[in-house]
Amino acid sequence: MLNIDHALETVRDRIARAGGDPERVKIVAVTKAFGRDAIDAARAAGLFDIGENYAQDVVAKRDALVGLHLHFIGRLQKNKVRLIAPLVACWQSVDRVALGEEIARRAPGARVLVQVNVSSEPSKGGCPPENAPDLVKQLGALGLDVAGLMTVGRTGPPSEARPGFAVLRALADRLGLVERSMGMSDDLEIAVAEGATIVRVGSALFGARPPNTAAGN
Ligand SMILES: *Cc1c(COP(=O)(O)O)cnc(C)c1O
């Protein structure tokens, strides 16, 4: 069986060196493009938070996910919400009110994060920062549990993600939101230094993803 104990130790070490409390920064193990063996390996290593990007993968892996907390982190079409609603513990990629309405309909009171595009890169999901306050309000009015904000750092050298992470942090503070999901395998130190409460880590735990996988965000 795939063993990620050593890789996890390395990730925890990186978090600690960046000034994060490894007990308080939650690691979401991103298993997109990997088989259920990655999910099993995460569980065996004591990681109970799993991230997936595609609705059809969530459905296909549903047996492996029993008892784990699934974070949906990919772009999501409204018509896929119904399929995965019973399986998702946290919807991290909510970027528009219409999506929130469908989630509220299929999973009343669900925990959500608002995805914000802090780099203005068109390839990235998320609402513009200036729209986040209204969206947070609207989602709350739908009865959703808006726990925080999520972002994907700017593509390129990790240091270039820093200003965007700072924007996310400031925005979350201003809105009184606790969770800041930011940082992936390559830029998690920067994210932790900028106050990430959740990092989403794939390749640093499981190795390089199989080729011809869309980035998902
Ligand atoms: C793929 C993905 C991750 C994990 O990326 P790694 O570089 O493998 O750590 C995190 N967040 C999102 C939104 C992703 O699509």
The reported pLDDT for the residue numbered 213 is 52
The reported pLDDT for the residue numbered 211 is 80
DSSP calls for 10-77: HHHHHHHHTT--TTTSEEEEE-TTS-HHHHHHHHHTT--EEEE--HHHHHHTTTTTTTSEEEE-S---
The reported pLDDT for the residue numbered 217 is 47
The reported pLDDT for the residue numbered 13 is 96
From ligand 1's centre to the CA of 7, what distance in Å? Answer: 16
From ligand 1's centre to the CA of 99, what distance in Å? Answer: 21
Residues 191, 102: Cα–Cα separation, whole Å:
30
Sort 211 into a burial class: Cβ within 10 Å, 0-12 / 13-18 / 19+.
Answer: exposed
Per-10-residue mean pLDDT, the chain, length 217? 96 96 93 96 98 98 98 98 98 98 98 97 96 98 98 96 98 98 98 98 96 54
Both structure tokens of 217? 């965000």
The reported pLDDT for the residue numbered 50 is 98
From ligand 1's centre to the CA of 184, what distance in Å? Answer: 6
| The ligand 1 atom nearest the CA atom of 185 | 9
From ligand 1's centre to the CA of 22, what distance in Å? Answer: 19
For ligand 1, is residue 39 a contact (CB within 6 Å)?
no
From ligand 1's centre to the CA of 70, what distance in Å? Answer: 14
Both structure tokens of 75? 């772009």
The reported pLDDT for the residue numbered 23 is 82
Residues 199, 187: Cα–Cα separation, whole Å:
10
For ligand 1, is residue 119 a contact (CB within 6 Å)?
no
| The ligand 1 atom nearest the CA atom of 92 | 13
DSSP state of 108: T
The reported pLDDT for the residue numbered 210 is 85
| The ligand 1 atom nearest the CA atom of 73 | 13
Phi, psi of 65 (to 5 degrees): -90, -5
pTM of the predicted structure, to 2 decimals = 0.96
